[in-house]
């Protein structure tokens, strides 16, 4: 089946630095990818919709200048957490639908655990 990968799987960084997380669809093209974050023992929350070749659409309350999204190709979307702070520590997950149709499946990446010291 379709696979979505994320890199890195975990990252520890100092406060004030920027961290880039990659999401790749390995065997299918994804014009759209979704980015979620999950705080410990809490629900998955949609952050933004990444659109290939155009600007990402951010959910209410998500700072677009803080979480930069670039969907450079049909198989790669990146999320850059800029000037990271400890409160940005979270589990970031991407997903990609295999198509735009009603019955297309959506596949989730394994997630990236970010810890900001």
The residues binding another protein (CB under 8 A) are: 32, 34, 36, 38, 41, 43-46, 49, 93, 95, 100, 102-103, 105-106, 108, 110-111
- Residue (38 or 70) nearer to another protein, CB: 38
Question: Nearest distance from residue 17's CB to another protein, in Å?
Answer: 26
Question: Nearest distance from residue 16's CB to another protein, in Å?
Answer: 29
Residue 95, sorted as left (phi over 0), alpha (psi -120 to 50) or beta, turns out to be beta
Contact (CB, 8 A) for 17 and 40: no
- Residue (1 or 14) nearer to another protein, CB: 1
Question: Nearest distance from residue 70's CB to another protein, in Å?
Answer: 17
* Radius of gyration of the chain measured on its C-alpha atoms: 13
- Residue (44 or 76) nearer to another protein, CB: 44
Under 8 Å CB-to-CB from 67, ≥6 apart: which residues? 35, 47, 48, 58, 79, 80, 81, 82
- Residue (18 or 63) nearer to another protein, CB: 63
Question: Nearest distance from residue 24's CB to another protein, in Å?
Answer: 18
Tell me the CA distances in angstroms from 100 to 16, 25, 32, one per residue in order: 38, 15, 9
């Amino acid at each position: 089946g379709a696979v979505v990968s994320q890199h890195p799987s975990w990252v520890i960084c100092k406060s004030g630095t920027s961290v880039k997380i990659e999401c790749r669809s390995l065997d299918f093209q994804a014009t759209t990818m979704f980015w979620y974050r999950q705080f410990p023992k809490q629900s998955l929350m949609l952050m933004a919709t990444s659109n290939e070749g155009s600007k990402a659409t951010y959910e209410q309350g998500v700072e677009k200048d803080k979480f930069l999204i670039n969907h450079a190709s049909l198989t790669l979307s990146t999320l850059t957490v800029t000037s990271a702070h400890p409160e940005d520590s979270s589990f970031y997950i991407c997903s990609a639908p295999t198509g735009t149709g009603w019955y297309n499946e959506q596949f989730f990446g394994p997630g990236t655990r970010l810890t900001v010291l």
